[in-house]
Structure 1
């Protein structure tokens, strides 16, 4: 076994690999960009080396810098994680040539899977079912249009060298083909450096089911059951689970055999994932093999009681797979596991990625039933340069229904302040009938997105009273310590219960909910309050706030909430939904400005990919004016109204800051 391993990655996957290495007594080496100098993976590793600037191209994609760090540190092996260079055959070759072990498949296996077109042809030759389509090298647009007509609509255009949902378009009519082809090729060129595409029949309402495979260098290859990843938005996985609620034992056996056959077709060793698209009738087709560990691997680990990173390390060190796995050809599953990805993004703004300091980050306590894989802690920043993932929340229980309930409880215990997050979206997701019933397909979220987005509504008066009471109890508990810093800690003026000479105390708690300021007047202290909400008097008795829980009798009914209070925010969870409030000054109003409709600004820092207008152009509301790239996604900037372009203040390739004015319209 290795004694020192370099992790050529960052964030939660680097932290996750470090944990396994530490358990096995293996020293770890981290690499980091200028933006990651104080990141958690740097702090957790035994040693760390800088490799360049904040952009991936200047650091984590620099194989030469990573190899130099490995040589300087004396690392015997490199674990590539996922993303970045994990599926780069040239990097794998360079690692081996340097006398360092690559913890992953061989470069030859990668090259066979590096092209979706070539992979599809190879799988077809080995009897693995494939979707009808066109995989040729001739990329003449006229030829591609004719092939599209032959395949029939709907069809999918896919980047031949893509992955992760990038460079994919669904086309439902011939008239839409040319524009989608151009867009797909451009995105593929930007993301993968090559604009070759392939065409394939689009399966309506498909399921996305993948099989974890594992091979060693002794000729053994097995599958480790399936994961279902059908809950997706724009081809990005949102919820993953194992086992699939759709797969029967008979279908599992057939798909497992096909997955192993796919692995044998490329002489696969180490961890890989064979991804299938599955029709409603159980027909399944090969999509691709991801020649690396997957983001969603923890659900396999939790249902099989395996550490896949440990298996990766042992196989890379030349050990065979455990005999128990090889003899059985697979591992029987125990219980059900579900994973959700917690992102810094704003679902109400088309899931716009966010960045900034995590002022508050409370995650559920890890246990036998709950696992947290994260790469940041409270006080860290989510940067604009990388994927905005905050953490993965994984739960396990005996049944799927119990696992879903575990996930609801875990999400209720999660609180984030700073950049906006998708936590409320995830809470609605795990309560939706399409998820609880196990009927969701890969396009469901995009077709019914409004069903999963939080709906703005006035807070229930009892809930507002609970939030105000939580604030008052928090102030009362903090008052003695604050008073002790003054000249007279026993002064009645130091109390936080609103006491005043000659009249009962009155306190005003000001909260902002869904952008609306709410003022709540209250009398009382020490767990007994009379609260005025929207002209209604609410009596609160026996209120206690302890360890994130608020228990109170509100208008004669005992209620219990999850509740957290800090100087800026209040979070109250009633068991079904979260209700977040901002704390405001009781007697001060902040002026706000909505801005005008004569400018187009950058919603976040990023790089301008394309400018599609010039000064003097007449434009209509909603017309595409520019495309920018930020946090691994393209963002289309549109005209705010009909008008004439007065000035274009940016050009393709330029990096811009958040809120920078890029395009101006002539005033009305």
Structure 2
């Protein structure tokens, strides 16, 4: 076994690898970019080395610098984690050339599966079933369009070298093909340095089932059962579980045997995942990931095995710790991915400081894998994952109950997150029934992203109490500094001489508004809400949690303030309200120019319009790349492009105006009819 291991990654996977290495007595070397100098994975390692600036191309993707650090630190092996260089055959070869052990499969196996087109040809020869499609070398746009027409719509356009939903598009109509191809190629080139594409028939209601495989240098190959990864949004996995609900035992065995055949066909070693599309009782090979997967914890939870330890032992030349017959599955596990993204804004990635972050503790059946801590910054440079919540139960119903409880006990404030969305998934009856397909989230999105009911007096009571408590703490601090803290002029309880008083508060949530009052009277405090007065009291409990008594009803929520932004966290819901200064807001209304602004920090990769051009609602204006994904910005209405403030290649911050836009009504014909 190795004495020292360099972890060529960041975030939660770097932390995950470091924890297993420490248990095995292996010293660890972390690497970091300037953006990650204070990151959790840096603190967990025995030593840490700077790679370079924040952009991945200048840090985590810099092969020469990684090899240099590995040799200088005395590391004997390199664990690539997942993402970045984990499936880069050139990196694996560079490690070998430097006398380092690459903790992963041989370079030839990575290359064989790195091209989806070549992988499918290889799997066809090995007898593994394939989805009908085009996997050819001719990548001319005209040829791809011809093959698409022959295959029929809808179809799936995929990056040949890709994964994780990057460079992937579902195309419904022939007229959308050219734009989709251009966008997918740009995204694939940026993510993988390879813009080759393949086409597949788009199955309408498939399930995504993957098989975890492991192989050693002696030719022994086993599978560790399957994972159901069907809960996806835009081809990005959101919730995974093991085993797959409702899978017939004979089908499970057939898929496991096919996965082993796939690994044997390429002389595989180490951890890998063979991914299948399943529709009815037919399954088709989709791709093989030659690395550890993000969702590997659910396999660990049902098998009791440490897959990182297996990786290290195989890389050190040891045989697999056990054979197929000794690998047993027990119970059920589910994983939910908590991301910094905003479901209310099309799931756009978000950035900012994690002002408040709490996870449930003390439950051995709940596992939290995270690379961040409270106070850390979510930056625009890397994947915006905050944590993975993984639960285990004796059966699926028990695991699902624990998932709901775990999400409800999670508190996060700062950048917008998908926490409320995950909690809604866990409560959805169709998910509880099991066996959902890859279209589940798209079909059920309206029910899963319902805005909070601002007509609920509980929200008003919590918001008003949070602001009043903040005001009380501020006034108490001012009083303490004044030298006369007992003066009635420092009171924050609304005291007036022989009178009642009321403070009106205005909060906004997107376009919605919440207006409530706090009434100070001789009978005590009350919430003025929609013409009613409701008795109100509150106390601040430990860890920033607020307990509110509203007309005999007890409410609890964790509270976090960032400037005038208030986050209320309760029962799996993270509600971010903005406290408005109505007079200042009114003064700001005049003089605001119409325009299209950057919804997040990113890089402009395409400007599709010119100054003075008339555009129709929904027409593509610009393409912004952020957090390794492309985001198309389209015309909000019919109108004309005014000034262009950016060019392709520009880096922009959130909120910066990208172009001036003059909305215009549709042109009218002589008889008054709108002109199409």
Q: Give me the TM-score of the superposition, normalised by structure 2.
A: 0.90
Q: CA deviation at 1:220?
A: 1.5
Q: How does 1:298-313 map to 2 (within 5 A)?
A: 298-313=297-312
Q: Which moved more, 1:470-479 or 1:400-409?
A: 470-479
Q: CA deviation at 1:107?
A: 0.7
Q: CA deviation at 1:550?
A: 5.6
- Cα 1:554/1:36, change in 2 over 3 Å: closer
Aligned length: 661
Q: How does 1:171-570 map to 2 (within 5 A)?
A: 171-279=171-279, 281-323=280-322, 326-328=323-325, 331-365=327-361, 367-455=363-451, 457-469=453-465, 487-489=483-485, 496-502=492-498, 508=503, 510=505, 512-515=507-510, 516-523=513-520, 529-540=525-536, 545=541, 554-556=550-552, 558-564=553-559
Q: CA deviation at 1:101?
A: 0.7
Distance (whole Å) between structure 2 residues aligned to residue 200 and residue 220 of structure 1: 32
Task: Extract unaligned runs of 5+ from structure 1.
Answer: none
For residue 252 of structure 2, give the secondary structure of its aligned residue in structure 1.
helix
Q: CA deviation at 1:446?
A: 2.5
- Cα 1:555/1:650, change in 2 over 3 Å: closer
Q: Which moved more, 1:350-359 or 1:456-465?
A: 456-465
* Alpha-carbon contact 2:214-2:270 (below 8 Å) kept: yes
1:411-456 deviations in Å (ceiling 9; x for gaps):
2222333221111222222122232222421122224422221325
1:209-257 deviations in Å (ceiling 9; x for gaps):
1111111112221111111111111101111111111322222111111
Distance (whole Å) between structure 2 residues aligned to residue 532 and residue 12 of structure 1: 46
Distance (whole Å) between structure 2 residues aligned to residue 357 and residue 399 of structure 1: 37
Q: CA deviation at 1:630?
A: 1.1
Distance (whole Å) between structure 2 residues aligned to residue 643 and residue 541 of structure 1: 52
Distance (whole Å) between structure 1 residues aligned to residue 224 and residue 604 of structure 2: 43
Other-structure match for 2:127: 127
1:435-482 deviations in Å (ceiling 9; x for gaps):
222242112222442222132532312442344446656777898787
Distance (whole Å) between structure 1 residues aligned to residue 273 and residue 175 of structure 2: 36
* Alpha-carbon contact 1:572-1:578 (below 8 Å) kept: yes
- Cα 1:411/1:576, change in 2 over 3 Å: closer
Distance (whole Å) between structure 2 residues aligned to residue 629 and residue 574 of structure 1: 33
* Alpha-carbon contact 2:277-2:286 (below 8 Å) kept: yes
* Alpha-carbon contact 1:80-1:86 (below 8 Å) kept: yes
Other-structure match for 1:69: 69
- Cα 1:591/1:363, change in 2 over 3 Å: farther
- Cα 1:8/1:490, change in 2 over 3 Å: same
Task: Extract unaligned runs of 5+ from structure 2.
Answer: 665-676
1:241-295 deviations in Å (ceiling 9; x for gaps):
111113222221111111111111111111111111010x121111111000111
Aligned alpha-carbon RMSD (Å): 3.0
Q: Which moved more, 1:77-86 or 1:338-347?
A: 338-347
Q: CA deviation at 1:624?
A: 1.0
* Alpha-carbon contact 2:569-2:575 (below 8 Å) kept: yes
Distance (whole Å) between structure 2 residues aligned to residue 599 and residue 161 of structure 1: 37
* Alpha-carbon contact 2:409-2:571 (below 8 Å) kept: no
Q: Which moved more, 1:84-93 or 1:188-197?
A: 188-197
Q: Which moved more, 1:86-95 or 1:425-434?
A: 425-434
- Cα 1:413/1:592, change in 2 over 3 Å: farther
Q: 2:601 aligns with which of 597, 600, 605?
A: 605
